[in-house]
Structure 1
Amino acid sequence: MLKRVVITGLGVLAPNGNDIDTFWNNIKNGKSGAAPITRFDASLFRSKFACELKDFDVKTVLDRNDIKRTDLFTQYALVATDQAIADSGFELGKMSPFDVGVIWGSAQGGMDTFEQQVEEYVASSKQPRFSPFFIPKVLINMAAGMISIRNGFMGANYTTVSACASSNTAIMDAFDQIRLGKAKIIITGGSEAGITEASYGGYCSLKAMSARNDDPQGGSRPFDVERDGFVMGEGAGALVFEEYEHAKARGAKIYGEVAGAAMTGDAYHMTATHPEGIGATRAIKMALDEAQLTIHDIDYINPHATSTHVGDLSETKAIANLIGPGKNNTYISATKSMTGHLLGAAGAIEAIISLLAMRDGIIPPTINTTNIDPEIPANLNVVLKEAIETKVKTAMSNTFGFGGHNGIAVFKGL
């Protein structure tokens, strides 16, 4: 018999908040994390702004050795998981270390380290003096490995890579590990540190990012007729998944239950989603079927909604395909309008937003969107400008990645 899986801890490091309380307060109040780039000189780039972390100094939360041997994306992961573990309150000493695992998501891994080392190599006239930490720091699995090493978790340990669906892939696998009885607790989520010259420049070349350089905070405009691409973000989101009976026995607070999760492939294009949302429709239907729900049972959808023309259209068509004619009571709000797009970490922080919406009965707004594209299906109930208060018993988080990866997670209250 399958086990039930609940969420008992949350942690976040995001462009508009370095802890859960600050982050959620800013999300509820529609505060954008976008600003001109400070990490490097972006004056010659097509896009010149991003959602960088604010007021964050890793030296205040990690020791010197951890910083020396890890890339930024791993550092972000360690900070967010420290928060989530403290929030959950479980004690490793009271259980086998083999009952606690880490399944983490990231799309790009140690880009910052890779670029620095290559620049140093070229600047030294190609003298092969690479850091002994170079390879461990760039490996995408290293965030999961370091979380495990730092905390003594000896259960399943790996990283999922499915571009911008990476976190939801990790969430699905964590769900499966626990409900199949292979673990009591899994630390899951995702991290990304993609605001580097090469990474940012690559997305600029794809013309995937907004070039609204005179209005950074208004750059991310999901579903809007004037949207011109996404705004890159960075950070991490961490969740503690736990077997329900184990959580109940120790008196843990519970944010909600993982009800279903599913993935499909578009088999269509390297970077574009299927224009009719065929793969997305199927993934959403599979996740809902597993949760024994229909789209009409979902109170809140946090969509992928990156503000790209094709992506927004295909996702909304997929949702509308399942809703059918006429509106329903499912609210939709696109929070990338505030956080930017955290790439492989997007699903993690959006799962956290979904769970906090359930906890507090608040659906955050979609900011910046003033004129919904007439191509967007008219029967969708999009929350604009300001948050609304309403009971949220169920929520769904959508993610889609380059390569045609569709990842859906469904949560419900107990």
Structure 2
Amino acid sequence: MTPAKPPIAVTGLGLVTPGGEGTEATWEAVCAGRSLTAHDRALDGLPVDFSCRLPLREEAIDRAVGRKSWRMGRFAKLAVLAAREAVRDAGLDPASWQGARVATVIGCGMGGTEKWEEQYARLEQNGPDRTSPLTIPMIIPNLATGEVSIDLHAHGVSLAPATACASGATAIALARELLAADLCDVAVAGGAEAAISRLAVTGFWRMGALSERTAAIADASRPFAADRDGFVMAEGAGVLVLERTADAAARGARPRALLAGCGSTSDAHHPTAPPEGAAGAETALRTALGEAGLTPYDVDHVNAHGTSTPLNDATEAALIARVLPHRPSVTAAKSVLGHTLGAAGAIEAALTVLTIQHRRVPPIANLQVPAPEFDIDCVTKQPRRQDVRTAVSHSFGFGGHNVVLAFAAA
């Protein structure tokens, strides 16, 4: 077993999702258990013309971000908003902290895809002189963490992991290592993505990853259902503030929960498909538990990756049943929020923290009972009251990335 490591305190959360701006809005949305999928006019004419977008107009986002919003891609704006909330929630003030000891680690899978399309259209229609000189800063994925560090006056280590749909979870795992190595005292870590564009949606559709339930879009995302057919594209950002437990205690901060362990592996198998048996994902899960000093039977709850794709859900359900045979409760937030790609791991990590804190497990939307071949305890129809002391959050990404985060009650 992997030697146990000291836990890290989660002292702040920030969320901007299709559920709304702010942690409370998103928590209420997932607990309501109703899909937020809606028709997307920007996708008119495509085989899949629905998504999960923020319930905020671009003008409102720009006002919230402030005068520097004009230079940012949408994904970076969402990262800044989520990071600000997380820092406020932690009771920290960037105006007075020691910025050189503050790290920012914000994962992003795709970056500013909508800006790629917008600026390419300008180039083709109007020529090079009509494209924006900010095209590159608005599209490169590391500008989420870059703009967060600028906004928060954080001069410490700044990283931008890109592990596809595991990026946000990878960022949190990296932040834990920075704190353990004493390379920072505060880590602002998470993920951001705003990749709902015509090309990106078409690309996912062509590979068969998206739901095509156009006649009943509210039912499209249905993790672990027998008739699941793919995920729904979404956008959002999730950020956690992490500190060493002793440092949090010294300033009188009460953690929302503890990040007790992390496990990261690579399948080294296929660009998009998980291997039969999910050996890499199992190793990641067991490593996270080992770091936390936990056995599989200590796990009370699983926040599943739950993409609603046939292969991923089958592989993940088999993994849960095999490693956690005592049937801990299982939820899957993508049923409500859609798949936020590089932000998903961080958003779901935050929701796992909230589940522990509130002793309440959100239901999986659009699911009555899991597929009969899945021996897992899916929470359905309404939230379940449960004293969750330890929980794991799964994140898996194209390229074979597996990340599991283990959380415990503070």
Structure 2 counterpart of 1:143: 144
Q: Distance in 1 between matches of 2:408 and 2:69?
A: 37
Q: Distance in 2 between matches of 1:159 and 1:95?
A: 22
Structure 2 counterpart of 1:337: 335
Stretch of structure 1 that moved more, 143-152 or 92-101: 92-101
Q: Assess if the C-alpha contact under 8 Å between 1:162 and 1:169 holds in 2.
A: yes
1:189 aligns with 2:190: yes
Aligned residues: 405
- Give the 3 Å change call, closer, same or farther, for CA 3–296 of structure 1 in structure 2: closer
Structure 2 counterpart of 1:355: 353
Q: What are the within-5 Å matches in structure 2 for residues 374-393 of structure 1?
A: 374-376=372-374, 378=375, 380-393=376-389
1:44 aligns with 2:54: no
Q: Distance in 2 between matches of 1:127 and 1:18?
A: 36
Structure 1 counterpart of 2:259: 258
Q: Assess if the C-alpha contact under 8 Å between 1:2 and 1:180 holds in 2.
A: no
The Cα shift of 1:2 comes to: 6.3
1:79 aligns with 2:81: yes
Structure 2 counterpart of 1:211: 212
Q: What are the within-5 Å matches in structure 2 for residues 238-317 of structure 1?
A: 238-317=239-318
- Give the 3 Å change call, closer, same or farther, for CA 78–95 of structure 1 in structure 2: closer
The Cα shift of 1:19 comes to: 1.1
In structure 2, the residue corresponding to 1:165 is in which secondary structure? Answer: helix
Q: Assess if the C-alpha contact under 8 Å between 1:222 and 1:305 holds in 2.
A: yes
Q: What are the within-5 Å matches in structure 2 for residues 80-229 of structure 1?
A: 80-124=82-126, 126-229=127-230
In structure 2, the residue corresponding to 1:84 is in which secondary structure? Answer: helix
The Cα shift of 1:94 comes to: 4.6
Q: Deviations over 1:227-282 (max 9, x none)?
A: 01001110101111112111111111311111111111111111111132111111
Structure 2 counterpart of 1:235: 236
1:18 aligns with 2:21: yes
In structure 2, the residue corresponding to 1:61 is in which secondary structure? Answer: helix
> Residue 26 of structure 1 aligns to which amino acid in structure 2?
A
Q: Assess if the C-alpha contact under 8 Å between 2:369 and 2:378 holds in 1.
A: no
The Cα shift of 1:91 comes to: 2.8
Q: Distance in 2 between matches of 1:294 and 1:4?
A: 16
The Cα shift of 1:329 comes to: 4.9
Q: Assess if the C-alpha contact under 8 Å between 1:275 and 1:310 holds in 2.
A: no
In structure 2, the residue corresponding to 1:164 is in which secondary structure? Answer: helix
- Give the 3 Å change call, closer, same or farther, for CA 137–280 of structure 1 in structure 2: same
1:408 aligns with 2:404: yes
> Residue 340 of structure 1 aligns to which amino acid in structure 2?
G
Q: Assess if the C-alpha contact under 8 Å between 1:212 and 1:218 holds in 2.
A: yes
In structure 1, the residue corresponding to 2:145 is in which secondary structure? Answer: helix
The Cα shift of 1:217 comes to: 1.5
- Give the 3 Å change call, closer, same or farther, for CA 296–2 of structure 1 in structure 2: closer
Q: Assess if the C-alpha contact under 8 Å between 2:35 and 2:366 holds in 1.
A: no
Report the RMSD for the aligned CA atoms in angstroms: 1.5
Q: Assess if the C-alpha contact under 8 Å between 1:220 and 1:368 holds in 2.
A: yes
The Cα shift of 1:371 comes to: 4.3
The Cα shift of 1:3 comes to: 5.4
Q: Distance in 2 between matches of 1:246 and 1:94?
A: 16
- Give the 3 Å change call, closer, same or farther, for CA 71–408 of structure 1 in structure 2: same
Q: Distance in 2 between matches of 1:26 and 1:399?
A: 21
Q: Distance in 2 between matches of 1:413 and 1:358?
A: 6
Q: Assess if the C-alpha contact under 8 Å between 1:121 and 1:127 holds in 2.
A: yes
Q: Which runs of 5+ in 2 are unaligned?
A: none
Using structure 1 for the length normalisation, give the TM-score: 0.95
The Cα shift of 1:173 comes to: 0.3
The Cα shift of 1:127 comes to: 3.4
Structure 2 counterpart of 1:373: 371
Q: Deviations over 1:166-186 (max 9, x none)?
A: 011101000111122111100
Q: Distance in 1 between matches of 2:373 and 2:122?
A: 48
> Residue 362 of structure 1 aligns to which amino acid in structure 2?
R
Stretch of structure 1 that moved more, 288-297 or 157-166: 288-297
Q: Deviations over 1:63-91 (max 9, x none)?
A: 23x22111000001011111111111113
- Give the 3 Å change call, closer, same or farther, for CA 345–277 of structure 1 in structure 2: same
Q: What are the within-5 Å matches in structure 2 for residues 30-69 of structure 1?
A: 30-38=33-41, 40=42, 42-56=43-57, 57-64=60-67, 66-69=68-71
Q: Assess if the C-alpha contact under 8 Å between 2:190 and 2:237 holds in 1.
A: yes
The Cα shift of 1:384 comes to: 1.2
Q: Assess if the C-alpha contact under 8 Å between 1:230 and 1:340 holds in 2.
A: yes
Structure 1 counterpart of 2:10: 7
